[in-house]
Amino acid sequence: MSDVNQVWRLRKRPVGEIADDVLSLEKETVPEPAEGQFLFRMNYLSLDPTNRIWMSDMDQYMPPVALNDPMRGVVCGTVVKSRHPDFAAGDVVSGLGVWADYQLGTPATMGKMQTPPGVSVADAFGLFAVVGPTAYFGLLDLSEPKAGETVVVSAAAGAVGSIVGQIARIKGCRAVGLAGTNAKCKWIVEELGFDAAINYKKENVAEALKRACPKGIDVYFDNVGGDILDACFKQMNLGGRIPTCGLISQYNATGEVPGPRNYPMILMQRLKVQGFIVLDFAHRYPEAIMALGQWMQEGKLKFKVDMYEGMESAVKTLRRLYTGDHTGKLMLHVG
Ligand SMILES: NC(=O)c1ccc[n+]([C@@H]2O[C@H](COP(=O)([O-])OP(=O)(O)OC[C@H]3O[C@@H](n4cnc5c(N)ncnc54)[C@H](OP(=O)(O)O)[C@@H]3O)[C@@H](O)[C@H]2O)c1
């Protein structure tokens, strides 16, 4: 175990893209666990679009990270020293932590990892910590898709979107994904089994949606907001559902973001538009983990981790979420 702890601290609120001086990597001493705490070594850091939200002082679903505090993150690690009766050295834990090599945990924020047989720790962490439950509850609880319906998902080659489309297929729906490159579109159709894909950067989205969704859209799982949401609004069927999962097209915005032009479609088509945060379903995580794990074992669900290396590259790697320069779940391996 090293004596030196590398810790990323938030130094500035980002304006637009996350600049180099928004966070700084410090060398600090490794903390000692007090009674009821354990010390763990971070092994994997989940890089999530919400990290950008936590850095800002915008209205949000939990307090922003305070300036000069360690950056908050979803982490997975190995216990090295414990003063909590339920945790011992060697336990693999995951939960809400910080961007630091070594950090203290308690059961309030960290739990022991569940890793089904045949699934690696990285895959289990990547799928079960946030992404899988988000896709599972967001799609199934909020939109209740029925066999034969058409489900459209944006950021479809990303972590959440790639799982949403596959669950839609498992439920007998037509799955249509939007993604930002031809390679991503090919991957979701040929590898993941989506019925159709749209490269939203190359195609006219409204026209492409008409082609890919000849019976209209019953469910639009929104990961991005903005122009794609507007284009989907226009083609929603009567009684359609829109789970609002994320608005990544707006996270780096500097000025006021315009509202959707096609908002009247909510009235005309009696749409249900509902936001959610996966933490709302924390009490039902075991249900999602069981279903997702079973689908994986049956070969019905594929999950791809896009892994990068090293604490020092955390910010550079995080930016990939906003440029789309990754496929599947973006993650950092840190020791
Ligand atoms: N509600 C919740 O509890 C919850 C939980 C987890 C995630 N989320 C949200 O779900 C969404 C996806 O998260 P994720 O972790 O799965 O990330 P991800 O999809 O793996 O990565 C983000 C993807 O968004 C796409 N993107 C970036 N900027 C865009 C833009 N301006 N317009 C359209 N697409 C853009 C990029 O793909 P392309 O190359 O295709 O552009 C990028 O790969 C995010 O909005 C996130 O905030 C919500």
What secondary structure does DSSP assign to 125-167, as a single string? Answer: HHIIIIIHHHHHHHHHHHH---TT-EEEESSTTBHHHHHHHHH
Cβ of 153 below 6 Å from ligand 1: no
50 C-beta closer than 6 A to ligand 1? yes
Q: Is 34 helix (H, G, I), strand (E, B) or coil?
A: coil
CA 223 to centroid of ligand 1, rounded, Å: 5
Cβ 184 under 6 angstroms from ligand 1: yes
**Interval between CA 215 and ligand 1 midpoint (Å):** 26
Q: Pinpoint the residues of the chain covered by CATH 3.90.180.10.
A: 4-113+304-333
Residue 328: its pLDDT value, please? 98
- For 267, residues 6+ apart whose C-beta sits below 8 A from its C-beta are none
Name beta bridge partners: 73: 97
Which atom of ligand 1 lies at the shortest distance from residue 48's CA?
15
CB 248 near ligand 1, within 6 Å: yes
Q: Which of 55, 96, 128, 223 to mutate to test the pocket of ligand 1 (most atoms within 8 A of CB)?
A: 223
Check pocket membership of 129 for ligand 1, CB cut-off 6 A: no
Question: Quick count: other Cβ atoms within 10 Å of Cβ 264?
Answer: 10
pLDDT in tens, the chain (335 residues): 778 999 999 999 999 999 999 999 999 999 999 999 999 999 999 999 999 999 999 999 999 999 999 999 999 999 999 999 999 999 999 999 999 999 999 999 999 998 888 889 999 999 999 999 999 999 999 999 999 999 999 999 999 999 999 999 999 999 999 999 999 999 999 999 999 999 999 999 999 999 999 999 999 999 999 999 999 999 999 999 999 999 999 999 998 999 999 999 999 999 999 999 999 999 999 999 999 999 999 999 999 999 999 999 999 999 999 999 999 999 999 98
Q: Thinking of the domain 127-281, which architecture would CATH place it in?
A: 3-Layer(aba) Sandwich (3.40)
From the CA of 306, how far away is ligand 1's center (Å)? Answer: 14
pLDDT attached to residue 116:
83
What is the structure's pLDDT at 114? 81
Amino acid symbol at 184: K
Looking at residue 137, what is its pLDDT? 98
| Sequence ranges of the chain with CATH classification 3.40.50.720 | 127-281
Is 277 near ligand 1, meaning CB less than 6 Å away?
Answer: yes
Per the structure block, which two tokens stand in for 127?
A: 């799928």
Asked whether 322 lines ligand 1 (CB < 6 A), one says yes
Q: Output the pLDDT for position 92.
A: 98
Candidate from 54, 181, 279, 321 with most ligand 1 atoms within 8 A of CB, to mutate:
321
**One-letter amino acid for residue 277 of the chain:** I
pTM > 0.95: yes
Q: What is the pLDDT of residue 2?
A: 79
Tell me the fold of 4-113+304-333. Quinone Oxidoreductase; Chain A, domain 1 (3.90.180)
> Which ligand 1 atom lies nearest to the CA of residue 226?
32
| Ligand 1 pocket, residue 278 CB under 6 Å | yes
**Residue 244 CA, ligand 1 centroid: distance in Å:** 12
CA distances from 46 to 17, 39, 75 (A): 19, 19, 6
The verdict on the CB of residue 133 being under 6 Å from ligand 1 is no
Distance (angstroms) between ligand 1 centre and the Cα of 179 equals: 10
Mutation pick for ligand 1 pocket among 127, 202, 248, 279 (CB with most ligand atoms within 8 Å): 248
Index of the ligand 1 atom closest to the CA of residue 160? 16
CA dihedral angle for residue 281, residue 108, residue 294, residue 274, rounded to 10 degrees: 20
Query: Which atom of ligand 1 lies at the shortest distance from residue 50's CA?
Result: 47
Q: Helix 285-297 vs helix 159-170: angle between axes, to the nearest 10 degrees?
A: 70
* Other Cβ atoms closer than 10 A to 98: 18
